[in-house]
Amino acid sequence: MVDCFQLGNEPNFNMGGKVFASAADYVKRMQAFAHAIKAADPNAKIGLSLGWDNGQDLLAAAKAFPDKYWDIATHHSYKPHVSKPEDFAKARARADAGLDTLASRETIEARMASMPGGMPIMITEVGVWNKALDNAYGSLYLAEYVARMAANPEIRFIGIHQQWQMFMPANMYNKEVGEAGRLGRVLDLSPIDIPVTYPESAQALRIVNAAINDAIWTCDSRFSGGDAPEKLYARAFQGASGRDYLVVVNRSAQAYELTLSMDRSPLSQPMRQEFLWAPKADGPMAGDRQSLDTKNPVRIEPFSVNRIEWNSGIVRPPRATRIYKAEIAAGQAALRWWKRGEAAGYRIHYGEAPGAIGETIDAGRATEAVIGGLKENGRYFFRVIAYNQAGESSSSNEVDAVIAPPPSPDAPELAAGDGRIKAEWRSVPYAGGYRLYCRSEDGDTQCIDAGMMCGAVIRQLSNGKRYSFSVAAYNGAGESEESAAVSASPRAGIPFPPRSLKAVRSNGAVELSWSPSFASPAESYIVERSAMPTEGFAAIAEGVTGTGYLDKDAPREGDCYYRLIGVGGGMRSQYPSNAAAAMPAGAASRE
């Protein structure tokens, strides 16, 4: 289950001709990818990447684009980041300023003003990325950032940079991976044990996330009994599981004794506190997370992140779950769905029409089930509803399954190389995987199980020998018929297209520049031009040598795009270079 397809990663680092001529060029080019994804899955959600927090050019380009083809606005947040080393005091001040501005209503509303009404935001990466904050203070920044962002209903998801903030492999196996790449060898990972460690930032986030992920409602908390402490932040969460929470982050060196009150009355029930703290802001945490029973007043340690929770005494119907996997087998379908901690059980409703209940199965507390007795070639629609003593949740998403082998894929597209051929194909509905069949002119057959990948590289082939390829899709009900077969011959010396093609307008012409391929450089190039970024290319020059070309006949109005084909040894490269845009004068990006 894919929640959102984000189009590109940090386009703000690839402006000015590196990949995109400008922010407007990025927004325009991504439309073709969005349409391709929607063609394969009309219900897919498209996320347009707006770079980092301060991506004003991307915000402006998104607002100006007439066809809002995306559903979600995504961006990354690294407010404390600097490109050069700085001391802890400056890094701390940068982090503090980020907390005051990034999660404010003014900032969120400014972003929303650039989007169609009601479009949600996904922050697909958040982090510190500053060596001066590789300490307790950096962990506190992340925990408070997430807690503050939870106040904004427009924020759909917040993604943490996994390898930096959530876990670290104890051994990266860089030597083994590098050697396998150099030798063109597949690295078998199955016998390799890769233990992971959980850094302090992960432990801090787990304290906060436990409240956020159970929450159905949140509100600000006010301090009384004097001026509000400057570096003490608190947010309350009402939980779906019958527990309520207060998250407190203390970025100061002072410890506090807090009396928790609700509706102006101190809480009298027993509480549980989980926390992580440090004696110094620029040092490590004092051990792992701690958990203890507590009551009013609650002690808040210096430089700490805390979650205090208690029983609310309120039982609510569960939140809706979500089916994230449906697997087909002969006469049956296997479903898996999200667990809801407040649920006493789950009921599966299914029928042969969308929205139809037809049959109901009680799965108990399990979060997966196999539904049997389904008709061969029948199409079924499934929903899951969670329940407890207070009632039922709303319905999950609805998924469908056809109890039959999947349809046959189209013929694969091939690209030959030295002793190898790459095959790629389009996905088909209801597939659990794909098998690629490679047959030589001698009658030998290889079968490569590609799993859910829609491509594979077949190595150790003989140059000059012809091979045919077909692909079949499979699931638990069987395998489709093979696609039509296509053939190719691996050859040494097939040229690669150049890399890093750039197009810059100059005195009414467009100046192209590029770098030859490292792997198999071409002898010459064919230059192609189009008014569109993904189609309509036609050759304007052939036999071009060197690393540059001046298009003196370039259109003076509107957009134009260029790409190159490599030529060598009587062969052409089997795919073009990147397409480079030469936007009208004045369209250069400020990113």
Q: What's the CATH code of the domain at 121? A: 3.20.20.80
Answer whether residue 324 is part of any domain: no
Enter the DSSP assignment of 495. Answer: P
Q: Are residues 531 and 505 in the same domain?
A: yes
Q: Are residues 235 and 97 in the same domain?
A: no
Position 117 scores a pLDDT of 65
Burial bucket for residue 447 (CB in 10 Å: 0-12, 13-18, 19+): exposed
Answer whether residue 104 is part of any domain: yes
pLDDT > 90 fraction of the chain, expressed in percent and rounded: 73
Other Cβ atoms closer than 10 A to 443: 6
Distance CA 139, CA 282 (A): 11
Residue 356 has pLDDT above 80, yes or no: no
- Asked which of 173, 201, 229 is the last residue of a domain, the reply is 201
Answer whether residue 137 is part of any domain: yes
Residue 591 has pLDDT above 60, yes or no: no
Using one digit for the tens of pLDDT, what is the confidence trace for 46-86?
Answer: 999 999 987 788 988 988 899 889 999 999 999 899 989 99
- Asked which of 402, 427, 457 is the last residue of a domain, the reply is 402
The answer to whether the beta carbons of residues 428 and 474 sit under 8 Å apart is no
Which range marks the domain in which residue 252 is found? 208-311
Q: Are residues 196 and 222 in the same domain?
A: no
Residue 533 has pLDDT above 80, yes or no: yes
Position 156 scores a pLDDT of 87
Answer whether residue 557 is part of any domain: yes
The answer to whether the beta carbons of residues 200 and 280 sit under 8 Å apart is no
Could you tell me which residue, 199 or 489, shows the higher pLDDT? 489
- Asked which of 165, 180, 201 is the last residue of a domain, the reply is 201
Q: Are residues 190 and 248 in the same domain?
A: no
Position 196 scores a pLDDT of 81
Answer whether residue 509 is part of any domain: yes
Q: Are residues 54 and 116 in the same domain?
A: yes
Other Cβ atoms closer than 10 A to 17: 21
Position 225 scores a pLDDT of 78
Answer whether residue 294 is part of any domain: yes
Q: Give me the CATH number covering residue 376.
A: 2.60.40.10
Would you put residue 435 in left (φ > 0), alpha (ψ -120 to 50) or beta?
beta
Q: Are residues 272 and 165 in the same domain?
A: no
Please give the mean pLDDT across all residues of the chain.
91
Q: Are residues 36 and 185 in the same domain?
A: yes
Q: Are residues 26 and 102 in the same domain?
A: yes
Position 588 scores a pLDDT of 44
The answer to whether the beta carbons of residues 371 and 296 sit under 8 Å apart is no
Q: Are residues 364 and 427 in the same domain?
A: no
| Sign, Cα dihedral of 396, 397, 402, 406 | negative
What is the count of structural domains for the chain? Answer: 5
Kindly calculate the radius of gyration of the chain based on its CA atoms and give it in whole angstroms.
Answer: 29
Answer whether residue 31 is part of any domain: yes
Q: Are residues 298 and 387 in the same domain?
A: no
Answer whether residue 587 is part of any domain: no
Q: Which residues pair with 219 in a beta bridge?
A: 236
Q: Are residues 28 and 148 in the same domain?
A: yes
Q: Are residues 526 and 504 in the same domain?
A: yes
